[in-house]
Chain A
């Protein structure tokens, strides 16, 4: 195995935000624009509604004054001049009409709120679906190397934790961001119209809000990232000790393992507490800085109002209150200015509360993008596997029928095509290989497997047996040398076709959620039910499957957790049998089957191996004695080769291994 990369769950890479938003816009331009428009309307309607209640109060007062006593508000029908944001407007005094207008504005606001909530919900879910699929689809195309070098847990957390932070960013932070920015922008414009100088004072005050966001929000983000990393560590520890719980019990190691966990858990607690404290106090701090700014602004307004010579002081008129000709006008300006100040600071607070979500979301997105940026498995093969028919004279014709006869279709540079019948002749010619450059784990391996031969690979763990099979199906590229399949360099063969022609049974059985039938059919999707039964019989799995509660329709879940190790292995053998490939690789296929059951399987295997080229890796030498050739591997080199008898006669390593069992004193 190549070395495993342990990646820190750190901060996002630069440009992640841009990339994510770009991707989002590319997928859902219309939805996003609709949402944005709805948000604009929503914000605008909210603004209008807050002005409206003030207006009606003004109208009421006017009506009372003009009627000099009780009156029917429906009948009062004149115009009233209102000052809104420094401008004068004529407003009808008919209250029902005003209420209807107000109601309509509310309706638009509610409708817009519903619009963007709904649209963003759809965008979020659709985008998450797309993102998830992109990741999974891309992952399926990655070379085995990716899976060998990334811990399973960290790949899984992409699909659970990381993608969830992205979801939060899109569904919450993004609309909040837009809403807050719009309100801030609006408030800022209004303040500027009213008074440039006083706006500057507010801006000066909001520098503190920005600073506190930077400091506290920054700290919160730092601790949230740390919390995430420590969570990973704690989860790793929990996973390890839950899986090794029985070993802990056997060694009376409970106290030590509790102690170790407590240490990690406490660190996590410290980080999480710090993160949450900083996250929790951002709101109150910025909110109250906002209050201070408000008070400061009001105080200055009072000073200006009480300043002597206010009415004549053109400088103040010019700079502070462009539109304020007199005290009343100035006063109404101050009222709306203060309202805007509050809106301005409130929305900066909203903004600051999103900071940590954004940082976490970007960190998650960055890791998801890393997966999407992994280079996919290259395939420059052009030789393909096709069904053929053979004439009586032996010439080969390609056919669409599923004849179960195959040939390699080999296009040449001059435009001609040749067909080579699939026989299962595999030659490794002076092959070198290393997982990392300059560190070879296989040296000068040459193996000749003629069609129908059985080749056994023997050697200690780590000698390179499995590595050899990884090269035959092109899971890893060679460093040097050649592998030929029916005389064709396998680098020229399309990977999918190459692998389709190789049946494989591994020591670690992996089953998929689904019925037994579906799991066996995994070997060949177009296999009929009868063919599946047949394959199960070959693997001697038929009897035990029929004894399962629902026979072949029994659901397997959790990697076949409801089956014994041996039963799972039998299913995986049946799966390979149904694939009916001309070349088989059996990597410790029977190691977890007890010897009595193995005998049953062995019969099936013998039938399965008949007429096929087979590579067998086995610890139990008894299972490979009949091989045509046995390769004894040691540290990546073939140190002995020959059939059982000749190797025994040589009295070399194989002899020692084999007889070792009988030599016990």
Chain B
């Protein structure tokens, strides 16, 4: 855990000085907060000592009797107050700067780290869990951090300071507090412990409840179609009620927190006053009470004076409230431990694919060779996802890949752009192992249109420029035309500058796929991989896209994964994948003659085929 806290604290960076300086000001403010009431009581005492005013007005001005000591006290009070104000303002400022800055750094560190992840790393963390880590978890840590720098030094210091003062002022009487601290501390510890136990449990239920809300929001069509509104309502009410019971249980324990502190303070008051009065009365020296020149009584005290007793009361309150503050820090820390753990997990993760030393920065052509390739996603997986693959794709060829779900089509193409590394064997592009290339060079040369494709919020043009930052409008239109997406963009009022909403929500599946293909083309790649990228596009458009690719970009190697035979039947070679192995390679005619899988798929899709 310590290691993790240290790792997270690395994100403080340029805000370190603020983080270090904050406690200073907070301590200053706290010290002044202790001093001010003390000086105020001196002031009141002094007001009490003011001489009786002189009745004659003239003398008031000649014999200025306004006590100078009060003047000074007032000036000191104002001065301390200003100091306390300055400490408070600066402490607040620096605390905010330090903690918010640290939070922002942490978010940015996480973001950068995640951007360096390979596909393997990404698979390990789900995207939704990454989102929580970057939002809720960072917020929790940020809050705990702010709390810490504001209180973590101040509270114990105030406790020690007050305790010392209590010993100075009240001698052995101060042991009362030393005795009470562990008692109150232990009671608070029990409260926190029991409450936290329930809270941890109930927070998990709360998360689950919110997940079920999410399911209902996204699955609302299913709920309404099956008329399950009442069923869902009941389910939700039951879950929410059950959780509330636990919440109340925990909160009832927390409700003891305040009274326990109060009991501590009041108990110390009674003890101090009780024992104090006894000591005062019984230890008075046997000297008669005298009257001074002004007719005021003067009492000589023994082991304890009344004044000492009242200052003891004040220190008692301060000591016990610091105990409370310390317990609050504990709560914050415990609450944020889980968040810290989750953040540290991401920061600790080592990207599994990294750039080689002295990388090759040019991909000469679009030739791909698989040599004895074995591949599995997880080291401890029993079965290879891809088993002993050997394959040669010549530059400029059109390759189709067909196979059922889970047969390894996507895994196969993902190795080419080194989205994953092979477990055994090698994949070479243009004669070099993909692991020798600079990653950026390789991925620019091998353009993949992924199965799960997304557009990003911005404009169509800004999305297209992902492919090529300097793309001109002409280039964009050309790419759109090949991808059969020019009409989509033309249909929009603002053409290339049309707005794309988050996740491309304002485009249909087929439209998104076509724009994504255009985006991939703008890279001007040596190899283009379409991973089931036209599934939502109708057959006619699908055909036109392939035609466009063939005519406009004959040099480019095209690897197309498809469900529809029509998408790949004109390929130079069709690879049939089955259970992680290459079942057959051949042209449409060859496979139709000899390959069972291909025949089966073909006849399912073209029942008319026989008639034709």
Q: How far is the CA of A287 from the CA of B597 in the complex (A)?
A: 81
B440 an interface residue at 8 Å Cβ cutoff? Answer: yes
Question: Is B220 in contact with A144, judged by CB distance below 8 angstroms?
Answer: yes
Chain A contact patch, size range: 35 or more
**Beta-carbon contact of A60 and B236 below 8 Å:** no
Query: Is B53's CB under 8 angstroms from A49's CB?
Result: no
Decide yes or no whether B44 CB sits under 8 A from chain A. Answer: yes
- A82, chain B: closest CB distance, angstroms: 15
- Please indicate the chain B residues that have their CB under 8 angstroms from the CB of A395 in the complex: none
The chain B residue with its CB closest to the CB of A251 is B466
What 1/0 mask marks residues of chain A from 44 to 55 whose CB sits below 8 Å from any chain B CB?
A: 000001000100
Q: In this complex, which of B54, B226, B240, B243 has the most chain A Cβ atoms within 10 angstroms of its Cβ?
A: B226
Interface string of B115-147 (1 = CB under 8 A from A): 111110010001110110011000000000010
Give the segment of A22-30, A239-247, A407-415, A446-454 that binds chain B.
Answer: A239-247
Specify which of B53, B224, B284, B563 is in contact with A305 (CB 8 Å cutoff): B53
Q: Are B108 and A64 in contact (CB under 8 A)?
A: no
Judged by a CB distance under 8 angstroms, whether B310 is at the interface is yes
Select A244's contact among B54, B440, B456, B543, beta carbons within 8 Å.
B456
Q: Which of chain A's residues have a CB closer than 8 A to the CB of B309?
A: 57
A69 in contact with B287 (CB, 8 Å): yes
Q: Which residues of A contact B241 (CB under 8 A)?
A: 129
B91 smallest CB distance to A (angstroms): 8
Smallest CB gap from B78: residue in A: A295
In the assembled complex, the CB of A200 is this many whole angstroms from the nearest CB of chain B, namely: 20
Residue of A nearest to B54 (CB): A308
Cα of A68 to Cα of B299 in the assembled complex, Å:
9
Q: State in angstroms the CA–CA spacing of A124 and B383 once bound together.
A: 53
User: Assuming the A-B contacts A564-B406, A657-B540, are A121 and B226 also in contact, with contact meaning beta carbons closer than 8 angstroms in the complex?
Assistant: no
Q: Collect the chain A residues with CB atoms within 8 Å of residue B122's CB.
A: 245-246, 249
**Does B280 make an interface contact (CB < 8 A)?**
yes
B104's partner among A156, A269, A291, A572 (CB-CB below 8 A) is A269
Closest B residue to A152 using CB positions: B217
8 A Cβ contacts from A221-272 to B: 231, 234-236, 238-254, 256-258, 261-262, 265-266, 268-269, 272
The answer to whether B419 touches A246, judged by C-beta atoms less than 8 angstroms apart, is: yes
Does the CB pair B255–A102 fall under 8 Å? Answer: no
* Interface presence of B208 (CB below 8 A): yes
* Residues 581-612 of B contacting A (Cβ, < 8 Å): 597, 600-601, 604-608, 612
Q: Are B310 and A277 in contact (CB under 8 A)?
A: no
A521 to chain B, nearest CB (A): 10
Q: Establish whether residues B306 and A57, one from each chain, have CB atoms under 8 Å apart when the complex forms.
A: yes
> Which residue on A lies nearest to B522, using beta carbons?
A251
B289 at the interface (CB under 8 A from A): yes
Which candidate, B2-10, B164-172, B257-265, is the interface stretch facing chain A? B257-265
User: With A and B bound together, what is the CA distance between A269 and B52 in angstroms?
Assistant: 60
B189 within 8 A of A: no
Q: Say yes or no for A485: interface residue by CB 8 A criterion.
A: no
Which chain B residues border A89 with CB–CB below 8 Å? Answer: none
Task: Enumerate chain B residues within 8 angstroms of A405, measured Cβ to Cβ.
Answer: none
Given contacts A155-B217, A461-B508, A656-B540, contact A252 B440 (CB under 8 A): yes
Q: Are B306 and A258 touching (Cβ within 8 A)? A: no
| CB of A86 within 8 Å of the partner chain | no
Q: Mark A120-149, 1 if CB is under 8 A from B, else 0.
A: 111011101100110011011100100100
Contacts of B523 in A (CB 8 A): 251
Smallest Cβ-Cβ distance to B299: which chain A residue: A64
Partner of A276, one of B96, B225, B244: B96
- With A242-B114, A331-B47 known as contacts, the answer to whether A506 contacts B221 (CB < 8 A) is yes
- Which of B74, B220, B450, B511 meets A295, CB within 8 Å? B74
- A265 B93 Cβ-Cβ under 8 A: no
- Residues on B with C-beta less than 8 A from A69 are 284-289
Q: A65-B297, A72-B282, A248-B115 are contacts. A277–B96 as well, Cβ < 8 Å? A: yes
| Contact across chains for B88 and A283 when beta carbons are under 8 A apart | yes
Give Cα distance in the complex from A102 to B564, angstroms: 88
Cα(A510)–Cα(B225), bound, Å: 12
Contact of A133 among B108, B117, B237 (CB under 8 A): B237
Contacts A140-B229, A292-B78 given; does A238 touch B404 at CB 8 Å: no
Q: Tell yes or no: B200 within 8 A of A by CB.
A: no
Picked from B210, B222, B538, the residue with its CB within 8 Å of the CB of A460 is B538
Docked pose: A460 CA to B510 CA in angstroms: 9
Query: Does residue A649 face the partner (Cβ distance < 8 Å to B)?
Result: no
- Scan B79-101; emit 1 where CB is below 8 A from any A CB, else 0: 00110110111011101110111
Tell me whether B558 is interfacial, beta carbon within 8 Å: no
* Contact residues of A between 606 and 633, Cβ < 8 Å to B: 619-622, 625
A308 touches B60 (CB 8 A): yes
State in angstroms the CA–CA spacing of A96 and B274 once bound together: 8
In the complex, which of the residues A64, A243, A512, A564 contacts B281, with contact meaning CB atoms closer than 8 Å? Answer: A64
A579 vs B287: C-alpha distance when bound (angstroms): 101
Task: Check if A272 sits within 8 Å of B103, measured CB to CB.
Answer: yes
B391-430: contact bitstring with A at CB < 8 Å (1 yes, 0 no)?
0000000000001111000000000010100000000000
Knowing A273-B100, A595-B601, the reply to whether A252 touches B444 (Cβ < 8 A) is yes
Known: A113-B262, A240-B457, A251-B523. A338 touches B604 (CB 8 A): no
Q: Which residue of B lies closest to A307 (CB)?
A: B53
Contact of A513 among B212, B256, B274, B313 (CB under 8 A): B212
Q: Is the CB of A280 within 8 A of B604?
A: no
- Residues from chain A with Cβ under 8 Å of B220 in the complex: 144, 147
- Asked whether A117 lies within 8 Å of B258 as measured between CB atoms, the reply is yes
**With an 8 A cutoff between CB atoms, is A312 at the interface?**
yes
Asked whether any CB of chain B lies closer than 8 Å to the CB of A299, the reply is yes
Q: Chain B 277-309, CB within 8 Å of chain A: the 1/0 string?
A: 110111111111100000001010010001001
Chain B residues within 8 Å of A656, by CB: 540
Q: Determine if A109 is an interface residue (Cβ-Cβ < 8 Å).
A: yes
Nearest CB of chain A from residue B404's CB, rounded to whole Å: 4
CB-contacts of B191-225 with A (<8 A): 208, 210-225
Asked whether any CB of chain B lies closer than 8 Å to the CB of A475, the reply is yes
Instruction: Find out whether the CB atom of B404 lies under 8 angstroms from the CB atom of A597.
Output: yes
Which of A8-16, A386-394, A436-444, A496-504 has 4 or more CB atoms under 8 Å from chain B?
A496-504
Stretch from B63-71, B333-341, B368-376 that touches the partner: B63-71
Q: Is B222 within 8 A of A506, CB to CB?
A: yes
Question: Which of B153-161, B178-186, B472-480, B497-505 is the contact stretch?
Answer: B497-505
Complex CA gap A71/B88 in Å reads: 47
Q: How far is the CA of A86 from the CA of B108 in the complex (A)?
A: 62
**Complex CA–CA separation, A618 to B453 (angstroms):** 21
Instruction: Say yes or no: B605 contacts A49, CB within 8 Å.
Output: no
Q: Which of B47, B269, B406, B466 contacts A49 (CB 8 A)?
A: B269
Contact between A261 and B108 (Cβ–Cβ < 8 Å)? yes
Residue of B131, B214, B510 near A238 (CB, 8 A) is: B131
Check A284 against B215 for contact (C-beta < 8 Å). no
Decide: A310 and B117 in contact? CB cutoff 8 A: no
- CB contacts (< 8 Å) of B406 on chain A: these are 564
Question: Is A110 part of the binding interface, using a Cβ–Cβ cutoff of 8 Å?
Answer: yes
Complex Cα distance, B216 from A561, in Å, reads: 16
- Across the interface, name the chain A residue whose C-beta is closest to B465: A256
| Complex: A252 Cα to B441 Cα, angstroms | 9
Contacts of A364 in B (CB 8 A): none
Chain A residue nearest to B506 (CB atoms) is: A4
What mask results when residues 496 to 528 of chain B are scored 1 for a CB within 8 Å of chain A, else 0?
000001110110111100000001000100000
User: Beyond A113-B258, A129-B244, A246-B450: 20 further Cβ-contacts under 8 Å?
Assistant: A4-B501, A56-B273, A152-B218, A238-B131, A250-B443, A253-B466, A266-B104, A268-B104, A273-B96, A280-B91, A284-B89, A308-B54, A327-B50, A460-B538, A506-B222, A522-B226, A525-B231, A564-B405, A602-B604, A664-B543
The 9 closest A-B pairs by CB, nearest first: A284-B88, A280-B92, A510-B219, A661-B566, A121-B251, A276-B96, A117-B255, A269-B104, A660-B540
A sample of 21 cross-chain residue pairs with beta-carbon separation below 8 angstroms, ordered by A number, consists of: A65-B297, A99-B270, A110-B259, A110-B262, A128-B247, A136-B233, A137-B236, A144-B220, A144-B221, A156-B210, A238-B111, A242-B131, A243-B503, A277-B92, A279-B92, A311-B53, A504-B222, A559-B218, A566-B405, A591-B536, A596-B597
